[in-house]
Amino acid sequence: MAENLELMQGTLDLIVLKALVWGPRHGYAVARWVGETTDEDLQIEEGALYTALHRMETRGWLEAEWGLSEHNRKAKFYQLTPVGRRQLRASTARWTRYAQAVFKVIQTA
Amino acid sequence: MPRFEGLRRFFRLDRAADVERAVGDELDFHFDSRVRELVERGMSPAEARQEAERRFGDLERTRARLEAIDRERVGERSRAEWWGGFTQDLRYALRGLRLKPGFTLGVVLTLALGIGANATMFGIVDRLLLRGPAYMNDPARVHRVNLIRTLQGEERPGTNTSYRTYLDLLGSTTSFDNLAAFFLPKLPVGTGEEAREMTLEVVTGNFWQLYDARPVIGRFFGPDEDQLPTGTPVAVLSYGYWHSRYGAHSDVLGQRMRIGTRDFTIIGVAPRGFNGAGLEQPIAFLPLTAGAVEMGGPPDLGTTYSWRWLEIFARRKPGVSVAAATADLTQAYLRSYASQAEQQSGLTPAGITHPHALAAPVLRDRGPRQGDDSKVATWLIGVAAIVLIIACANVGNLLLARAFGRRREIAVRLALGISRGRLLTQLLTESLLLAAVGGALGVVVAQWGGNVLRAMLLPDMEWTGALADPRVLLFAALATLVAGLLTGLAPALHAGRSDVAAALKTGVREGTYHRSFTRTALLVIQGALSVVLLVGAGLFVRSLHNVKTMPLGYDRTRVLYVNLDMRGESLSTAEQALLRDRLLERARSTPGVEHAARNMTVPFWMTMNQPLFVAGIDSMSRLGSFDLQAVSPGYFETMGTRILRGRPITPEDRAGAHVMVVSQSMARVTWPGKEALGQCVKVGADTMPCNTVVGIAEDIHAASLKDDPGLTYYLAMAQWRPHRGGLFVRARGDATQLVETVRSQLQGLMPGASYVTVTPLTEVLEPEMRSFELGAMMFTIFGVLALVVAAIGLYSVVAYSVAQRTHELGVRVALGAQTPDLIGLVVGEALRLAAIAAAIGTVGALVAGRWVAPLLFNTSPKDPWILGGVALGLLGIAAAASLAPALRAARVDPNVALRAD
């Protein structure tokens, strides 16, 4: 396994927003998706994911609603708001630009 | 339970618990799901749990953070929600009120009058009874010293005493860390044409230590500038006078101002709002001993007991109880009284007068000498509260009527899902909005009303209007809040009860006419309270009438009093006597003057007492207090006092035998069952020659209107002090018209800086009338106000009921009811309500009358004419208020009424 990468706050938010782009998900689903997608390369504590979810709910990027899980349990589902969607687009663009710039620097070496 | 739940939600009692539960549920779900997945992959449950926790990180810290984040969000949202709801309610209420301007105006005016009346009365009572003197340091420890003696079997509290008594108390009490004396004389200030009589305050050098006041500029004076015999002529200006007279310039320090006969050097300015001892702001403060000289005090000021003037403030040492302080003062007063008895041989012995002292509250009206006007003012605050209750009842009633009218609207809104809590806040918002507008207007009413009342009740009181008085504003705000809640109560309760289905099902016609018990009760309460107030008004009006028409033993409307102020012009006794003779002559020749005569004392302003000696009577002072009056010939014609037997004082009563005229009561008390004419009375000392009683005059009231007339005797001026006293002048008509003429005529004779002041006797008596005038005016205003409000309330209820009963009335007409039947039906209902209200109100008035009786004048609180008149009046008003709706009822056309709906 590759060495763990440090994660910046904005990046965590971006990842969580991305996890919700296909529709409402509860916190566990978000955690699983993040773990699977990154092959556990980004060592993210799941507690931090929940903190990000709740913080973004407060900011109005996400909307939460209680519903039933696939196993018929009460679960809290998160969903992007229009503001959250805009935020996701803006963060993605910024991250891409940033990564490309850094990549260019590394390539020229 | 749903309503309870709603209430809990309304007050957000469960917000914290909700958040914790939600976070817990979410995390439990996470762990359960993770463990289930890991177990499915083959882990043991314990291992799975451990792995899940490892992946999660610090569980408890995260839980705490999540809860904190959520709490903040929930709080913020509910605040925003509340604010949004509030602004929506406000907009909704505003729109509703704008659509009904007549209703809004009526409600706002009613509340404004109610709140304004309360704020006005609070402002006055606050000054008189609640608020200590400005700047006073710990006013609870400062006392106004009362010296109480028993005269003619009655305790007479007094606060005015001699400088000598003050020195005695200062020297022999131990409970006080400060004992300061003061007095507020009127003295001539300025020179030449600018000279005016103004109020000053003379205070002892230690007076300032009672206060936390610092001079704005300069300094205060100290005990070393307040020394016998004549003090140092220095003055501390009041802030107000410094502004109005000197334009607040700091170069006043060192300037001189003429006060009385001396130039006083200005050494400082008192801070803003500093009024010294009382409610009135003097123009300046002077050392007591220096001021006493200008007031014409005796040369032996420090030793004589005979000049009683100043008042004393005493501050208890910390830890000394009020009772101990009173006991200490009484001991000191007893010693002082004994020493006074040595000086004054005629002083009633302590065994009879039981002298004792009382450390009373610093505010005069909180002590035993509470003025009648302050008692009336205290009553009036209760009256004002009643007016506010009536106003609230009426507004509540109007709002309730509106709520009935909006039954279907409310039902629709409830059906559409608005919560009852929101509906409740909406109704309360409306009533609070109305109250707020009414309260704002009420403060304006208080500002105006305060000025009017102050002019009547406390003409000398230093005053800031309601708008500038934070305590009054706060009070008005509280009254507004209470009014808003009270008026919103009835409609809110009604809305809380309303049954959606029933309201939606019924048409306009059926079922909507419920005689509302609440509305009827509110109406009856209003009527009953109006009756109480109107009975009060009747009692005070009658008292005022009785006071004004009461025979005093002299004419009050036709007599002027002329006072001479010599202002340091030193004339010999012969010149003084001559001046007065010339003034008398000039007064008599002035057009419009019928008679004039000289006098020594003035009823209600000053009395003079001398020890009297009559053969066969041990102590005249045991029989009572005898007031001396010295008069010139023509006095009795001038005053309008009748001589009952014998003769008046004549021009012949000069050189020869000394004579005396006594009042009827004095004759009866001194020589019961015997002939008074020809008796011998010695005045001043046993060794003086006889004054033979030559006439008996009718009794006069010279000290109190309420008590029996005093005991008065008249000496011939020529045989007593021909060089002292002033003049009474009798006008042919209304004396007040003649004031300026007489003054300018007489002033021409006055030498140098000396001058005369001319005062109608009506003005002298004015303070005695004030409490009755105040009571009569305010009870009448409030009573009529209450009645008008109640009448409007009755009208609206009856009109409403007629409108609701159109159908029923139509049926009656169709069945053959005649116009008089219909009118009788409607008016009868109103009269029944009025009769109940009158009965309750009369009982209330009888109960309250027991307490108000001491403030009345020769008027029984059970006066049947007043009680009956008011009750009849209420019935009349009820009939009048219901007549218009009754006529409308009589015009009901059965064809229209029965086809409607």
The DSSP string of B647-666 is ----TT-SSSS-EEEEEHHH
**Using a CB-CB distance cutoff of 8 angstroms, which residues of chain B are in contact with residue A7?**
none
Token digits of residue B502? 């029933």
- How many C-beta atoms lie closer than 10 Å to residue B179's C-beta? 23
* Extended strands (E) in B614-656: 626-631, 643-646
Query: Are A55 and B25 in contact (CB < 8 Å)?
Result: no
* Substitution target from A9, A25, A28 for chain B, most B beta carbons within 10 A: A28
Query: Are A31 and B30 in contact (CB < 8 Å)?
Result: yes
C-alpha–C-alpha distance, residues B259 and B232, integer Å: 13
Task: Check: CB of residue B678 under 8 Å from CB of residue B645.
Answer: no
Q: Which residue, chain included where needed, has tokens 């106003």?
A: B391
**Using a CB-CB distance cutoff of 8 angstroms, which residues of chain B are in contact with residue A43?**
none
**Using a CB-CB distance cutoff of 8 angstroms, which residues of chain A are in contact with residue B58?**
47
C-alpha–C-alpha distance, residues B584 and B616, integer Å: 40
Chain A nearest-CA residue for B74: A58
**Using a CB-CB distance cutoff of 8 angstroms, which residues of chain B are in contact with residue A27?**
26, 29-30
The beta-carbon neighbor of A27 closest among B26, B70, B73 is B26
pLDDT of residue B358: 86
Token digits of residue B53? 């926790």
**Using a CB-CB distance cutoff of 8 angstroms, which residues of chain B are in contact with residue A57?**
69, 73
pLDDT of residue B678: 92
- What's the whole-number average pLDDT of chain B? 84
**Using a CB-CB distance cutoff of 8 angstroms, which residues of chain A are in contact with residue B65?**
51, 54
Residue B33, min C-alpha distance to chain A (Å): 7
One-letter amino acid of B500: V
Inter-axis angle of helices B761-804 and B864-890, nearest 10: 30
Task: Check: CB of residue B282 under 8 Å from CB of residue B221.
Answer: no
Task: Check: CB of residue B560 under 8 Å from CB of residue B732.
Answer: no
Is the model more confident about B153 or about A26?
A26
Closest CA to B785 of B19, B176, B117, B78: B117
Residue A94, min C-alpha distance to chain B (Å): 27
Which pLDDT tens digit goes with each residue over B110-156?
A: 888 888 888 888 888 887 777 778 888 888 899 999 888 887 777 77
Chain A nearest-CA residue for B22: A76
Judged by DSSP in three states, A42 sits in: coil
pLDDT of residue B182: 92
The beta-carbon neighbor of A75 closest among B29, B36, B58 is B29
The beta-carbon neighbor of B26 closest among A55, A58, A76 is A76
Query: Are A50 and B69 in contact (CB < 8 Å)?
Result: no
pLDDT of residue A86: 93
Helices within B250-406 (DSSP H only): 288-294, 322-343, 350-353, 372-405
- How many C-beta atoms lie closer than 10 Å to residue B626's C-beta? 24
pLDDT of residue B193: 65
ipTM of the prediction? 0.89
pLDDT of residue B705: 82
Interface A:B, Cβ pairs < 8 A: 65
Could you tell me the mean pLDDT of each successive run of 10 residues in chain B, 901 residues long?
A: 44 67 91 91 90 89 91 84 81 81 81 87 80 83 88 77 90 90 88 78 92 91 90 92 88 90 91 82 92 84 85 91 91 90 80 84 77 78 83 81 71 73 78 89 86 70 67 88 84 66 54 62 85 88 87 91 82 88 92 92 83 85 85 93 93 89 93 91 87 94 83 91 89 90 89 85 84 82 80 77 77 82 85 91 90 84 89 89 82 71 51
Chain A nearest-CA residue for B65: A51
Query: Are B56 and A75 in contact (CB < 8 Å)?
Result: no
* Substitution target from B18, B29, B58, B65 for chain A, most A beta carbons within 10 A: B29
Which pLDDT tens digit goes with each residue over B368-414?
A: 777 777 787 788 888 888 888 888 888 887 787 777 667 677 777 77
The beta-carbon neighbor of A74 closest among B25, B34, B37 is B25
Question: What is the H or E stretch that residue B704 is in?
Answer: none
Q: How confident is the model at residue A56 (pLDDT cuts 50, 70, 90)?
A: very high
Which pLDDT tens digit goes with each residue over B704-739?
A: 887 888 899 999 998 888 888 899 999 998 888 999
The DSSP string of B55-101 is HH--HHHHHHHHHHHHHHHHHHHHHHHHHHHHHHHHHHHHHHHHH-H
* Substitution target from A9, A25, A46 for chain B, most B beta carbons within 10 A: A46
Closest CA to B423 of B434, B410, B404, B438: B410
pLDDT at A6 over 80: no
Task: Check: CB of residue B669 under 8 Å from CB of residue B623.
Answer: yes
**Using a CB-CB distance cutoff of 8 angstroms, which residues of chain B are in contact with residue A73?**
29, 32-33
Residue A47, min C-alpha distance to chain B (Å): 5
Q: What does the CA dihedral A13, A14, A15, A16 come to, rounded to 10 degrees?
A: 50
The DSSP string of B255-268 is -EEEETTEEEEEEE
Query: Are B66 and A74 in contact (CB < 8 Å)?
Result: no
C-alpha–C-alpha distance, residues A9 and B618, integer Å: 109
pLDDT of residue B586: 93
* Substitution target from B54, B62, B70 for chain A, most A beta carbons within 10 A: B62
